[in-house]
């Protein structure tokens, strides 16, 4: 078993999770802004 392989997989998982979390936050922010604009 190589040492670099699990680390590589770990490095791939972390940015993917962060990007997904950021996308979720962005979606919430945009949708709330849209609602505020729609009501004003």
Query: Is the overall model pTM greater than 0.85, yes or no?
Result: no
pLDDT digits (tens, 9 = 90+) for 17-38: 888 888 888 888 988 988 888 8
* pLDDT at 17 (0 to 100): 83
Burial classification of residue 3, based on how many CB atoms lie within 10 Å of its CB (0-12 exposed, 13-18 middle, 19 or more buried): exposed
Confidence of residue 2 (pLDDT cuts 50, 70, 90): low
Pairwise CA distance, residues 8 & 27, whole Å: 29
Q: Which residue has the tokens 């962005």?
A: 26
| Radius of gyration in angstroms for the set of CA atoms belonging to the chain, rounded to a whole number | 18
pLDDT at 13 over 80: no
* pLDDT at 5 (0 to 100): 65
Q: Does 30 or 2 have the greater pLDDT score?
A: 30
């Amino acid at each position: 078993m190589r040492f670099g392989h699990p680390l590589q997989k770990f490095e791939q998982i972390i940015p993917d999770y962060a990007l997904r979390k950021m996308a979720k936050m962005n979606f919430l922010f945009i949708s709330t802004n849209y609602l505020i604009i729609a009501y004003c």
